[in-house]
Amino acid sequence: MTGGQEGPGQDRPDQDSAARDSAARDQAARGHEQPAAGRGFSRRQLARHATWFGAAVALTVVGGEVTRHVVNDDHGDAATAGVAAAPDLRFVQISDSHLGFHGTANPDVTTSFQRAINQVNALPYRPDFVLHTGDISHLSTPAQFDQAKQMMSGLRTGMVYTVPGEHDSVDDGGRQYLATFGAGTRGQGWYSFDVRGVHFISLVNTFALEALGHLGTDQIDFVRKDVAGLSSDTPIVVFSHIPLFAMYPKWGWGTDDSATVLALLKRFSSVTCLNGHVHQLFTKREGNVTFHSATTTAYPLPHPGQAPAPTPQTLPPGKLAGALGIREVAYHPGNPALTVTDTRLA
Amino acid sequence: MPAGARASDPAAQAPVSGTTVDIRNFAFSPANLTVRVGTTVAWTNRDADAHTVVSTNGPLHSPTLNTGDTYKYTFAKAGSYSYLCSIHPFMVGTVVVTA
């Protein structure tokens, strides 16, 4: 995702390989889940994927030009629309904006967040929704939440969803967060919804945290009832701030009772978990579940174990934008695997 | 609730006596402190970033400490008090209060 040698993406898959990995996953998943599909059908679908990934990579490489072109044309680029078959569901994940942070790692997180928003608005399609996976604010102040809400109201999308991070519940158990973003949620801010056949579950694992994230029995009961009536071939997407897998428990990068929730989702053929918190890209597959940690719009954190503590990393001049980014997620009916494309800030 | 004081337990890291804890480089220093009942301990944030001092099931609950801010708590009961920074929960510390 970043070309910077010192950037946190150094060991991570770059845009091309991430896309290839996704394509390979898609292909494997399709072969497994749809053995009855004709070879021609599969090949055609794969060709569409390849074309779409090609366009995505081009967008990364020449982000600035594409951005200007699309912004000048409200109806989108006809040529692009022609080669890229529109998936049925597309949304964008942004994360860890830390509005109110002041430090050398990013002296202007507000401008970085605005650039991320502009980049979403410059996509050649209008996402069905935009998801923020937490640490929207740095210190949960009313001013920081108001600013975040105002900025996100400028997103060109159908809906904005959020989950809170631990920075969104500093000193108040999440009251200010819930007052700003909690409308329509259940319990302590969790909720679920459906878009075009995909079931989304937004979880809160930062309100009762100790060293690790924590969901609690009320929330686990919510998930149990929430998925009880769903057919096992319903694609499930789970949002949380802290990873639901043990990415690096020593730094708190895990959730102590996530196994209970994942057990409830074991019968589903496709489960995708999207999280923030770790400020870097990371993908892992465990059984039927694929986990994708997103990067940040604010500042990078070190790779697990490569620093004494997960403290904000100040990169050499010019390298910061390469560590920040947005994530596009697409779902094609009939293909249980979601396509995840991470793009650095242009 | 804090357990009874077991000052004779050899701690994993040698406890330090004193009444102040510095918050520096995203760590509590000293991370393990031993004081007598009735002692007031002061935590001072020496970092550019904000921190808190919170014991999830205990009495410590600082407001957000900006650079230079100090939080004080007087330990009236013996016991072992674990706490963390709720903003950066990988930051953990313990105060052991002896009778």
Longest CA–CA span in chain B (Å) reads: 37
Peptide bond into A312 cis (omega under 30): no
What does the alpha-carbon distance between residue A259 and residue A237 come to, in Å, rounded to a whole number? 16
> Is B16-98 CATH 2.60.130.10?
no
Summarised one tens digit per residue, pLDDT across range A281-302 is 999 999 999 999 999 999 999 9
Which chain A residue is nearest to residue B54, measuring alpha carbons? A171
Which chain B residue is nearest to residue A248, measuring alpha carbons? B90
Q: Is B67 on the interface with A (CB under 8 A)?
A: no
Residues near A34 by beta carbon (within 8 Å), at least 6 away in sequence:
A42, A334, A335
Site from B23, B28, B49, B92 to mutate, A interface, most A CB atoms within 10 angstroms: B49
Distance from CA of A339 to the nearest CA of B (A): 32
Residue A82, pLDDT score: 41
- Inter-chain CB proximity A252 and B90 less than 8 Å: yes
What does the alpha-carbon distance between residue A344 and residue A76 come to, in Å, rounded to a whole number? 21
Question: Which chain A positions have a beta carbon within 8 Å of B46's beta carbon?
Answer: none
Instruction: Look at residue B6 and tell me whether its pLDDT is greater than 50.
Output: no
Q: Is A138 on the interface with B (CB under 8 A)?
A: yes
Question: Residue A12 in contact with residue A295, Cβ under 8 Å?
Answer: no
Distance from CA of A306 to the nearest CA of B (A): 15
Q: Is A209 on the interface with B (CB under 8 A)?
A: yes
For chain A, list the domains and their CATH numbers: 15-344 (3.60.21.10)
Q: Is B87 helix (H, G, I), strand (E, B) or coil?
A: coil
Question: Which chain B positions have a beta carbon within 8 Å of A310's beta carbon?
Answer: 26, 88, 90
Instruction: Look at residue A54 and tell me whether its pLDDT is greater than 50.
Output: no
Which chain B residue is nearest to residue A167, measuring alpha carbons? B87
Residue A4, pLDDT score: 32
Instruction: Look at residue A136 and tell me whether its pLDDT is greater than 70.
Output: yes
Residue A85, pLDDT score: 55
Tell me the percentage of chain A whose pLDDT exceeds 70: 75
Helix axes of A39-61 and A15-33: crossing angle, nearest 10 degrees? 160
Distance from CA of A186 to the nearest CA of B (A): 23
Q: DSSP class of residue A229? A: T
Summarised one tens digit per residue, pLDDT across range A148-206 is 999 999 999 999 999 999 999 988 889 999 999 999 998 899 999 999 999 999 999 99
Q: Is A96 helix (H, G, I), strand (E, B) or coil?
A: coil
- Inter-chain CB proximity A171 and B64 less than 8 Å: yes
Please name which of A343, A346, A338, A345 lies closest in space to residue A56, comparing C-alpha atoms: A343
Which residue of B50, B52, B89 is in closest CB contact with A209? B89
- Inter-chain CB proximity A103 and B48 less than 8 Å: yes
- Inter-chain CB proximity B87 and A166 less than 8 Å: yes
Question: Residue A202 in contact with residue A191, Cβ under 8 Å?
Answer: yes
Residues 286 through 345 of chain A touching chain B, CB cutoff 8 Å: 308-312
Residue B89, pLDDT score: 87
* ipTM of predicted assembly, 2 dp: 0.74
- Inter-chain CB proximity A310 and B90 less than 8 Å: yes
Q: DSSP class of residue B48? A: S
Residue type, A19: A
Question: Which chain A positions have a beta carbon within 8 Å of B63's beta carbon?
Answer: 171
Distance from CA of A138 to the nearest CA of B (A): 9
Task: Give the confidence band of B56 by pLDDT, cuts at 50, 70, 90.
Answer: confident
Q: Is A175 on the interface with B (CB under 8 A)?
A: no
Which residue of B27, B52, B89 is in closest CB contact with A252? B89
For chain B, the domains span: 16-98
Q: DSSP string spanning A246-313? A: -SBGGGTBSBTTHHHHHHHTTT-S-EEEEE-SSSS-EEEEETTEEEEE--BSS---PPTTSSSS-PPP
Site from A101, A136, A139 to mutate, B interface, most B CB atoms within 10 angstroms: A139
Residue A14, pLDDT score: 37
Residue B18, pLDDT score: 84
Residue B15, pLDDT score: 63
Q: DSSP string spanning A300-320? A: --PPTTSSSS-PPPPPPTT-H
Please name which of A331, A37, A25 lies closest in space to residue A197, comparing C-alpha atoms: A331
